[in-house]
Amino acid sequence: MRSSRIEVSGVLVSTDHYIDGQRVSSSETFELLSPIDQQVLGNISEGLDEHVEAAIRSANSAFPSWSSMSAADRKVYLDRFADEIGKRSDEFCRVESTDAGLLLSRMRHGVVPRAMLNIRWFAEHALDLQNRPIETEQAHHRVRHDPAGVVVIITPWNSPLLLSTWKLGPALAAGNTCIVKPPEWAPLTCSLLADAADAAGLPQGVLNIVQGTGGKTGAKLVSDPRIARVSFTGSVPTAKWIAQAAGANLVPCSLELGGKSPFIVLEDADLDGAAATGALMYRNAGQVCLAGTRFLVHERVAEAFVARMREHVKQLAIGDPRDESTEVGPIIHPRQIERVEGFVQRAVAAGAELLWGGSRHPFGAQYFQPTMLTNVKQGDEIVQNEVFGPVLTLQTFADDSEAIELANGTDYGLGGVCYGETAHATDVAERVRTGFIWVNSFGIRDLNAPFGGIKRSGIGREGGDWSFEFFCDVKDVVVPKKPFRASFSHR
């Protein structure tokens, strides 16, 4: 079949699926817009039943050979895959900045290096998987991590390259074959990943990319009984549907979902440091699940903190994400900015007070001003529900107990930030119910550490051994130390 390509910021990108090592077009397409200016980037092949079927068959066919390789042999392929991502670094940066609105500076210095590390690190870590003996009085136990089978990976639009490789790294290193369903609002860097995998010589069928919408393509993938695992990052409503569809076949799901994380500023906090970190919550136009969006500030320092943070926010450069001086870029899609705007308008109508922002930014239709709302109540929609835009709330508290009660007072539990004297802040942080929390810092991540949320923020953990626990079937091979004689006797 034909292979269609479009030019995006000077880079030619295929708009077709990647199945069994080949580009495959579709008779149906969907339109892709750039969040920067809403210009049409092209028409993307839509994954139909035939494409889903072909991808599953391809991944199933490739599984016996790929899974039977040693981890060391797979590592050779995956190291080449990481190399190819590096060779295409500039292309990934320019395309994702145009396609998803991510800051070009962030892509160059953070996302692409991390994407390469995601592949390399898990390939290296897999070498140790089968060498973990447990010795007991009666037997030698050898714990194996066997690949589960065909894995479906569904990634969100706020960081497609980073989050695709975050899942592909351990899934492929463990010996699974993968089908990636990219986000329909930002699918192009996943298409470039297919080019990198092809150039690296990954065997046909080991990695497949099927583009499309969640309701059509995603639904077919997650409900197929031949799928062994589903790994999803995205919204709570979509996760509920995926869990139900996969559950019908008893397929395990890893779900990394939304956040409504607290940003706690204690009375003994470094207010300058907290305010500077607070301004980072507007990064990627607030489209970051782990951002601290609910500011909880001790009442005695609230006025001083607000004044300091206001100054930092005033200095934020808002504009085209392809300009390396830009610090806040666009909202991904017209539907999303309407959602963000609606949250703010309803909050103000309900009595919330705007400290700054509150409306679209004059730079362009897809840009929203960094916004802070106060005079909000714990039960308000703006406090309880994820906005996923550059909108924060501020509440005050009188003591640690109230701060912890407010912090734990939503259905979410992904992350958090706590600023204060180190021992004090650590004590408070340990009582906040989240999957992780940063003390006097933000965004420190290590691939050895677990990542994930509790409550409506998700199920399972990613990173380190936790990723392999999900993507593998864990088996205990038991060899007795003494000759074993079967007996019904309990003597």
pLDDT tens per residue, range 448-473: 999 999 999 999 999 999 999 999 99
Which residue in the list 46, 84, 184, 256 is annotated as catalytic?
Answer: 256
How confident is residue 490, by pLDDT bands cut at 50, 70 and 90?
low
In the predicted structure, residue 133 carries a pLDDT above the cut 50: yes
- Given a cut of 70, whether residue 489 has pLDDT beyond it is no
The one-letter code for the residue type at 194 is A
304 φ, ψ (degrees, to nearest 5): -65, -40
Return the exposure string of 136-165: e unless at least 16 CB atoms fall within 10 Å of the residue's CB, then b.
eeebeeeeebebbbbbbbbbbbbbbbbbbb
Instruction: Please state, in angstroms and rounded to a whole number, the distance separating the CA atoms of residues 408 and 262.
Output: 8
Residue 289 annotated among the catalytic residues of the structure: yes
Residue 324's CB is within 10 A of a number of other CB atoms, namely 13
Residue 391 φ/ψ, nearest 5 degrees: -130, 120
> 275 falls in which pLDDT band (50, 70, 90)?
very high
- Which amino acid does the sequence have at 34? S
Q: List phi, psi (to 5°) of 46.
A: -95, 130
Q: How confident is the model at residue 491 (pLDDT cuts 50, 70, 90)?
A: low
* pLDDT value of residue 187: 98
* Mean pLDDT computed over every residue of the chain: 96
Candidate list 190, 253, 289, 472, residue with the active-site label: 289
Average pLDDT over residues 104-123: 97
* Residues 221-252 pLDDT 10s: 999 999 999 999 999 999 999 999 999 999 99
pLDDT at 95: 98
Q: What is the pLDDT of residue 1?
A: 38
What number is the average pLDDT over the span 93-114? 97
With a cut of 60, say whether residue 63 has pLDDT above it.
Answer: yes
User: What value does the mean pLDDT take over residues 370-386?
Assistant: 98
Asked if residue 191 has pLDDT above 90, the reply is: yes
In percent, the amount of the chain with pLDDT more than 70 equals: 99
Strand-strand pairing, 472-480 and 139-147:
antiparallel
Per-residue pLDDT band for 3 (boundaries 50, 70, 90) equals low
Q: What is the pLDDT of residues 429-447, one digit of tens each?
A: 999 999 999 999 999 999 9
The alpha carbon dihedral of 287, 290, 296, 298 has a sign of negative
pLDDT band at 121 (very low <50, low <70, confident <90, very high): very high
CATH code: domain 5-257+457-477 is: 3.40.605.10
- pTM (two decimals): 0.95
Percentage of residues of the chain with pLDDT beyond 90: 96
Tokens of 385: 């529900």
Which residues, at least 6 apart from 34, have a Cβ–Cβ distance to it below 8 Å?
41, 98, 99, 101
Q: Does residue 487 surpass a pLDDT of 90?
A: no
Give domain limits for the chain.
5-257+457-477, 261-439
- The residue behind tokens 């010589």 is 201
Q: What is the mean pLDDT of residues 385-403?
A: 98
Class of domain 261-439: alpha beta
